[in-house]
């Protein structure tokens, strides 16, 4: 924080900034690889594909690619980012629930892996794949799969639970006739070689996630028995490892999950199946920090309020669903040094954002050293989803994001590199119809 102040990344003119710990991201990627290397049979093809939605930032995707991590994309925009980062099509998986015909065609032409979401989408793939499967035909598509919803239940955050009875994702496996339909869909399509299940994200316990993977594995076994060969050669087990937002500890870890999977679904790791994972949050949340300036410190009804520049425009989920998405807040002085607690101990106070609505609070009644104008607040563990879930309310600009590294301990010089430039006012005007200023007058 001190280096960010000293090097001018944050101050009166740039009152909010995102910071990413490059070594932390590398370490998380290495830990993910090591955790699964430990449980898979030697030689098993494994693709760890980062869920781009968690941090839709080209330099981050490139850094992860350098660490052996591909991309899971869920929109044409995310695919464009993965390609801009130089991620090879073989290391990209497309998963969105609403793929248009044009998106499917592009994916098939590029040879990226696609997981169809539903029967209608599979029918679209049929039409695209047919001319590519005969002798002398155009290049074959990349690996194609089907997403199933194992309907094993939800976690503590309903909005992120994708394996409930009525979730919008995938083919709902326990619905009447669905399993038989899935088996038939595979027997009729020798080119359909993957099953995909993503049980949910933050809030889903590990045993629920493992139960979903087990259901997908058992279905794959049934299908392979039905067709009499190893037609399904890869299981895509999704992402979803929850992040501990309560302390610095990384818990649960990838090894906890990989070992639980090995115990729950041993057959998945005996070498017959390749593996795709799609972790997002767990790869990057702990490496990110939002740092924001306290513009004013005031009080209302006896409650101290620090009005900062980090609110709903960045911490959208935290502001709108604070019970599900609490964040730790750390207090710093204007020089970026940790702010000591005063003689009376921590003071319960609201940490508010800059948006013009009353609920724009990133923390309510939170005990902290008493914040004053010019101080800084750090929102911890915000590397995932905070830099890509921006909210355009009040036309507040998206902040600049910088990666940092500090080799050599406390006194080392911290080096920053730009990841995303701060959004300019001109960009906001353009994005808001500035090129069409008089368009309505002529109607």
Ligand X SMILES: Cc1ncc(COP(=O)(O)O)c(C=O)c1O
Which residues in this chain contact ligand X in the complex, by CB under 6 A? 51, 54, 72, 95, 198, 201-202, 238-241, 278-282
Nearest approach, Cβ of residue 78 and ligand X (Å): 11
Nearest approach, Cβ of residue 335 and ligand X (Å): 35
Nearest approach, Cβ of residue 155 and ligand X (Å): 10
Cα–Cα distance list, 439 to 17, 395, 432, 442 (Å): 35, 21, 13, 6
Cα–Cα distance list, 275 to 29, 41, 215, 358 (Å): 16, 11, 15, 46
CB nearer ligand X, residue 201 or residue 382: 201
The phi, psi pair for 277, rounded to 5°, reads -120, 160
Nearest approach, Cβ of residue 281 and ligand X (Å): 4
CB nearer ligand X, residue 163 or residue 219: 163
Parallel/antiparallel/unpaired status of strands 329-332 and 171-172: unpaired
Exposed, middle or buried, 179 (CB in 10 Å: 0-12/13-18/19+)? middle
CB nearer ligand X, residue 149 or residue 201: 201
Q: 262-277 burial by CB neighbour count: b if 16+ within 10 A, else e?
A: bebbeebbeeebbbbb
Residues 255/28, Cβ–Cβ less than 8 Å: no
CB nearer ligand X, residue 4 or residue 116: 116
CB nearer ligand X, residue 201 or residue 234: 201
Nearest approach, Cβ of residue 156 and ligand X (Å): 13
Nearest approach, Cβ of residue 196 and ligand X (Å): 8
Nearest approach, Cβ of residue 5 and ligand X (Å): 31
Q: 198-207 burial by CB neighbour count: b if 16+ within 10 A, else e?
A: bbbbbbbebe
Residue nearest to ligand X (CB): 280
Exposed, middle or buried, 255 (CB in 10 Å: 0-12/13-18/19+)? middle
Nearest approach, Cβ of residue 256 and ligand X (Å): 15
CB nearer ligand X, residue 51 or residue 291: 51
Nearest approach, Cβ of residue 238 and ligand X (Å): 5
Residues 108, 92: Cα–Cα separation, whole Å:
12
CB nearer ligand X, residue 282 or residue 308: 282
CB nearer ligand X, residue 260 or residue 428: 260
- Contacts of residue 326, defined as CB under 8 A and 6 or more positions apart, other chains included, come to 245, 246, 318, 363
Residues 45, 42: Cα–Cα separation, whole Å:
9
CB nearer ligand X, residue 198 or residue 366: 198
Long-range contacts of 403-409 (CB under 8 A, 24+ apart): 403/19, 403/20, 403/21, 403/22, 403/59, 403/60, 403/63, 404/3, 404/4, 404/19, 404/20, 404/21, 404/22, 405/21, 405/22, 405/23, 406/3
């Amino acid at each position: 924080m001190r280096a960010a102040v000293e090097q001018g990344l944050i101050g009166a003119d740039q009152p909010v900034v995102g910071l990413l710990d490059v070594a932390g991201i590398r370490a998380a990627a290495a830990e993910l690889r090591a955790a699964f290397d430990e449980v898979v049979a030697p030689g098993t093809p494994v693709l760890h594909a980062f869920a781009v939605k968690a941090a839709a930032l080209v330099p981050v995707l490139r850094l992860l690619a350098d660490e052996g991590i591909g991309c899971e994309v869920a929109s044409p925009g995310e695919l464009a980012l993965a390609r801009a980062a130089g991620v090879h099509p073989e290391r990209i998986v497309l998963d969105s629930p609403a793929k248009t015909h044009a998106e499917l065609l592009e994916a098939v032409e590029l040879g990226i892996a696609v997981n169809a979401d539903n029967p209608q989408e599979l029918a679209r793939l049929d039409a695209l794949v047919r001319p590519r499967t005969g002798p002398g035909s155009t290049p074959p598509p990349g690996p194609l799969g089907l997403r199933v919803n194992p309907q094993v239940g939800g976690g503590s955050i309903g909005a992120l639970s994708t394996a409930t009875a009525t979730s919008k994702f995938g083919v709902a496996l326990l619905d009447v006739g669905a399993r038989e339909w899935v088996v038939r869909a595979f027997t009729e399509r020798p080119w359909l070689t993957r099953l995909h299940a993503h049980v949910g994200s933050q809030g889903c316990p590990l045993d629920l996630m493992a139960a979903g993977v087990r259901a997908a594995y058992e279905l794959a076994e049934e299908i392979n028995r039905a067709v009499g060969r190893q037609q399904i050669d890869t299981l895509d087990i999704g992402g979803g490892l929850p992040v501990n937002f309560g302390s610095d500890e990384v818990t649960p870890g990838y090894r906890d999950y990989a070992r639980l999977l090995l115990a729950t679904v041993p057959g998945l790791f005996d070498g017959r199946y390749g593996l795709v994972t799609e972790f997002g949050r767990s790869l990057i949340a702990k490496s990110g920090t939002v740092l924001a300036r306290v513009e004013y410190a005031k009080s209302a009804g006896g409650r101290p309020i620090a009005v900062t520049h980090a609110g709903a425009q960045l911490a959208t989920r935290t502001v709108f669903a604070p019970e599900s998405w609490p964040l730790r807040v750390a207090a710093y002085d204007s020089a970026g040094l940790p702010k000591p607690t005063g003689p009376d101990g921590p003071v319960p106070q609201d940490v508010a954002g800059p948006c013009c609505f009353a609920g724009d609070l990133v923390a309510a009644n939170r005990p902290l050293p008493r914040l004053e104008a010019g101080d800084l607040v750090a929102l911890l563990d915000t590397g995932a989803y905070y830099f890509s879930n921006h909210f355009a309310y009040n036309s507040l600009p998206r902040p600049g994001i910088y990666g940092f590294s500090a080799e050599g301990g406390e006194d080392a010089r911290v080096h920053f590199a730009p990841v995303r430039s701060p959004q300019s006012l001109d960009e906001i005007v353009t994005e808001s119809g500035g090129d069409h200023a008089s368009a309505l007058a002529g109607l």
